[in-house]
Structure 1
Amino acid sequence: MGAKFAFAQPVGALPLPDIRRYDWSIEVAAAFLGAVAAGLLLMAPLDVAWTGEGPGIQTDLLVMNVPRAAAAGAVLAVVTAALTVALGNRAAWITAFASAAVLLVDHLWDRTAAPTGTLTTVNYIDALFSGVLVGALAVAVFHKPGSAFAYLAGILSAILVGDLTSLPAATESSLSEWAATDSPPLWLLTLAVLALAAGAAAQRVESPLNRPEYTELPLAPIAAAMLFVPAATVAAEWYVRQPDTPANIAVVIAVTGVAALLAALLLPGRDGTLVLLAVAATNASSATVAVPRPDWSVPIPVLAVAVGLWAGRRWPLPWIGLAASAALSLFAALTASTAHTTPVVPVIGITAVAVITGYCFGSVTPRAAPSIVLALAVLVVPNITIALRGNSFGRVAYSPEWFRDPVTVTSATPAWSALAITVTSALALALLHAARPGDQVVVARGSRDSPPPLPGDRLS
């Protein structure tokens, strides 16, 4: 009776490396780099280093259309997330890679956009495909805690860096103005594309956990996005064309609060909690004076967001997020007239903004990826606070050049309005919990590929 042995490789040959052991690292890197690139393109589409080469009217049209392009990208992000949830994890990775590749090609081409007068078109392309990348990548990493944490840290820090950017100085550019002069840099986009390609290649087998349980398109998140995003955008654009009166401010606050509540009710279970937290946090953030600040403070948003996410996972209490947003609004109101005279206030402001935003997204883990994407969309959609700042020049922006102006003394009115928005969000959250008492979801725990625990289990 003979025995036969089969060798996978010749005797004495070096063993081939098992690429599967690097899958986790590849996915984490792809999630972070892809999210950073998409967030920067959504929030800071202006590269002042080359936009000035074109006609002034083209730059003016670009600035005017930045909020609309961001809103369009936000809606497409939610639609993409809903579609890829139905198609599965591998489709999500492939979609994320394809959209990043389009953004890289567009970034290489848009250097000629200023002289040819196509800045607005380039901005819309960037915003739309960034939205696709945000939505697809959220679905791709949703069931993997490590990758999901990297994704949230990347997208939130990129949004904050873009939002907290100062106008470039007239004579020199500093590190703190980087997002206004090269956003995102070519090397970052290239790394994101390569990482996403590796991440898509790593999806050799569809995990049973990530395989879609149904093929129907989830319409609730899409309906919620189609309700909230247009309502917030139209309300903000309407306000900048109206007199700056308490009655008009109250109208916009009411529209925003009602739209947020209805969107939250459209989402499954208590997923809408994160949307309400995002509404409060983004308005408080927009009211905070964040410039000028020293260059050494540039890493603060990234580090502070990570700290906030960790704290939210550790102590998941959404009411703390609302209370922190209210406190940030009060801080912004009390320091509005003096914040530009010292760098201490802007540094405290950006630190608080990043920690609170990270905490809000860490304290609530929705049951579906499109719900997270809708909450992220809230952060990039024009809000009442930005409209209040732009009412004097008839534009939904911090300044006529879009980025935050480091020399303009701001009024406390945006901060008080942000506080009112936080109060309406708190009322909406109470109504949401009353409408869905004891809503609990049982999820699998203990596996690296399992979804993170839902804070709702401990809050209900």
Structure 2
Amino acid sequence: MGAKFASAQPVNAHPARDIRRYAGAVEAIGAFVGAVIAGLLLMAPLDVGATTGPSFQLDLLVLNMPRAAAAGAVFAVVSAALAIALGRRTAWVAAAGSSLVLLLDRLFTGQAVDNGNLTTVNYVDSIFSGILLGALAVAVFGRRAATSAYLIGALGAILLGDQTSLPSENRHDPLISWAATAIPPLWMFFLAVALLAAGLLLQRPAPHHHPNSDLPIGPIVAALLLVAATELSTEWVVRHTGTSTQVTIAAVITVIAALVAALLLPGRDGMLVLLSVAIANAGSAIIAVPRPEWSAPLPMIAVVAGLFAGRRWPLPWAGLWGTAGLSVFAACTAGTAHGTALVPVLGITATGLLVGYCFGAAVPRSAGSAVVAIAVLIVPSLVVALRGSSFGRIAYSPQWYRDPEGAASAVPGWVALAVTLGCGIGMFILYRLRTSPAVRRRIVARKSKPIREVQRPNRAFTQATASG
């Protein structure tokens, strides 16, 4: 009897193992919910249906939204870089802590609104959403299921926020207007805090892992360059009503900044950044509203399908040509899009497919590079500035969201096409500079799927551990 008790395991051993069996599921669900919250707060920060206060405060809030989004994008990249240097556990701490701050901020938002601090609330949301987005990328980096959930949540939420319709008293589409009225819901904040705290508690230190003390500077400088170039050029276009010469100069600045940022990233990680710049402008050029209520989940579903297709058939150049086609589609349908639901449905579906495909086909080797590409989608692009130049704001309408009754023009589509072609030239330059002569000789000899051969090593994004 004594021998039997002596050989038994401690009482707490089995429960600990049972709990850790669910660590992967907890990480994946937490990554999805956290990414959704961060993406929605960065892209759809204002409840225009319920927000009260003087009109000048609302105007000031909308005027500052692009800068708040830019601040959130920079904080996302900086937090990712710091988490890479300090280790995965630090990334989980930052993700759980920032989600808690967002929950507390959401609980006291009503008081801040009554006091007239709308802009301050928006900046707090944007900054801590950026920290959550960046830290969470490093926290799940290398775990295939959790990484996929993170990308689906972040990309899908960014698209939902970007394609949100301005609420109208004459239209009753609760799912379509959900992003502009009380999103994310309060229960989602509580769920995110609980899941991310559980994910932190379930982390086990690697037996032979030593944190990387070197801070990856490349992603930080790349993000600062891209965000600054985008923000300054778009504000300049809006202030000067966007003449053809000014738009051309802004487009050239955008492409050059994207290329330099791509070259600052290791290897061919910059391919995804160039693709993100192209798809950000093309996706902003489409007419996304009005559309039927049943189409609300299409962007998220399309992202999932595109991500799967990109991993299955990784051809970044196909993503670029698809983005060029989307730009032409946006230009050719601008005059008739508001009169039929088919064009907006096709536009949002194609945008989701292309965003997911690009992030699946040109996966970078480091979490920092991936966050830079996501940050590009957060900052309002040149095309958004063009669509807001008539009322002097970097927005789709004077109240930020897309207006189903707003004037449409083919110019944003053609500008998006020009930016896409410029990014294509940048991709070619990056490919030539970052591919060894030996690899190029093998590619030329085979004459078969050159981009698949070049991009195959980058698929380690879903398998490697976080590193600079």
Q: What TM-score, normalized to structure 2?
A: 0.91
Q: Is the 8 A contact 1:64 1:395 kept in 2?
A: yes
**Is 1:243 the equivalent of 2:248?**
no
Q: 1:297 aligns with which of 295, 298, 304?
A: 295
**Is 1:451 the equivalent of 2:454?**
no
Q: Is the 8 A contact 1:67 1:396 kept in 2?
A: yes
Provide the secondary structure at the position in 1 that maps to 2:38: helix
- Alpha-carbon distance change, 428 to 444 in structure 1, aligned in 2, over 3 angstroms: closer
How much does 1:3 deviate?
Answer: 5.2
- Counting only pairs closer than 5 Å after superposition, residues 182-221 of structure 1 correspond to structure 2 as 182-206=182-206, 208=208, 211=209, 214-221=212-219
Task: Name the structure 2 match of 1:455.
Answer: none
- Alpha-carbon distance change, 282 to 449 in structure 1, aligned in 2, over 3 angstroms: closer
Q: Is the 8 A contact 2:147 2:462 kept in 1?
A: no
**Is 1:345 the equivalent of 2:335?**
no
User: 146-155 or 212-221: which moved more?
Assistant: 212-221
Partner Cα distance (2:377, 2:207) in 1 = 31
Partner Cα distance (1:232, 1:419) in 2 = 17
How much does 1:412 deviate?
Answer: 0.4
Task: Name the structure 1 match of 2:46.
Answer: 46
How much does 1:56 deviate?
Answer: 0.8
User: 317-326 or 187-196: which moved more?
Assistant: 187-196
How much does 1:344 deviate?
Answer: 0.8
How much does 1:187 deviate?
Answer: 1.1
Q: Which amino acid aligns with 1:86?
A: A
- Alpha-carbon distance change, 283 to 212 in structure 1, aligned in 2, over 3 angstroms: farther
Task: Name the structure 1 match of 2:166.
Answer: 167
- Counting only pairs closer than 5 Å after superposition, residues 314-329 of structure 1 correspond to structure 2 as 314-329=312-327
How much does 1:173 deviate?
Answer: 5.5
Deviations 1:198-229 (A, max 9, x none): 11111032365xx4563111111111111110
**Is 1:7 the equivalent of 2:3?**
no
Partner Cα distance (1:371, 1:444) in 2 = 12
Partner Cα distance (1:44, 1:387) in 2 = 17
- Alpha-carbon distance change, 338 to 207 in structure 1, aligned in 2, over 3 angstroms: farther
Task: Name the structure 2 match of 1:31.
Answer: 31
- Counting only pairs closer than 5 Å after superposition, residues 205-284 of structure 1 correspond to structure 2 as 205-206=205-206, 208=208, 211=209, 214-284=212-282
Partner Cα distance (1:449, 1:384) in 2 = 32
Deviations 1:26-48 (A, max 9, x none): 11001100000000000000012
How much does 1:182 deviate?
Answer: 1.0
Partner Cα distance (2:166, 2:345) in 1 = 17
Task: Name the structure 1 match of 2:20.
Answer: 20
How much does 1:114 deviate?
Answer: 2.3
- Alpha-carbon distance change, 9 to 444 in structure 1, aligned in 2, over 3 angstroms: farther
Q: Which amino acid aligns with 1:276?
A: L
Aligned pair count reads: 445
Q: Which amino acid aligns with 1:191?
A: L
Q: Is the 8 A contact 1:444 1:451 kept in 2?
A: no
Partner Cα distance (1:44, 1:185) in 2 = 13
- Alpha-carbon distance change, 84 to 441 in structure 1, aligned in 2, over 3 angstroms: farther
Partner Cα distance (2:462, 2:388) in 1 = 45
Partner Cα distance (1:444, 1:251) in 2 = 33
How much does 1:57 deviate?
Answer: 0.8
How much does 1:408 deviate?
Answer: 1.4
**Is 1:433 the equivalent of 2:434?**
no
Q: Is the 8 A contact 1:444 1:450 kept in 2?
A: no
Partner Cα distance (1:198, 1:255) in 2 = 44
Q: Is the 8 A contact 1:40 1:184 kept in 2?
A: yes
Deviations 1:341-361 (A, max 9, x none): 011111011000100000011
Provide the secondary structure at the position in 1 that maps to 2:21: helix
How much does 1:49 deviate?
Answer: 3.2
User: 241-250 or 87-96: which moved more?
Assistant: 241-250
**Is 1:181 the equivalent of 2:163?**
no
Deviations 1:157-181 (A, max 9, x none): 0000000000001255621010000
Identity score, percent: 54
**Is 1:70 the equivalent of 2:83?**
no
Q: Which amino acid aligns with 2:227?
A: V
Provide the secondary structure at the position in 2 that maps to 1:169: coil
Partner Cα distance (1:167, 1:382) in 2 = 17
Partner Cα distance (1:173, 1:161) in 2 = 14
Q: Which runs of 5+ in 2 are unaligned?
A: 440-453
How much does 1:193 deviate?
Answer: 1.1
Task: Name the structure 2 match of 1:57.
Answer: 56
Partner Cα distance (1:178, 1:3) in 2 = 64
Partner Cα distance (1:24, 1:356) in 2 = 28
Q: 1:385 aligns with which of 372, 376, 383?
A: 383
- Counting only pairs closer than 5 Å after superposition, residues 352-367 of structure 1 correspond to structure 2 as 352-367=350-365
- Alpha-carbon distance change, 409 to 159 in structure 1, aligned in 2, over 3 angstroms: same
Partner Cα distance (2:425, 2:263) in 1 = 13
Partner Cα distance (1:441, 1:280) in 2 = 19
RMSD: 2.2
Q: Which amino acid aligns with 1:364?
A: A
Deviations 1:409-455 (A, max 9, x none): 31000000000000000000011111111487997999x98339xxx
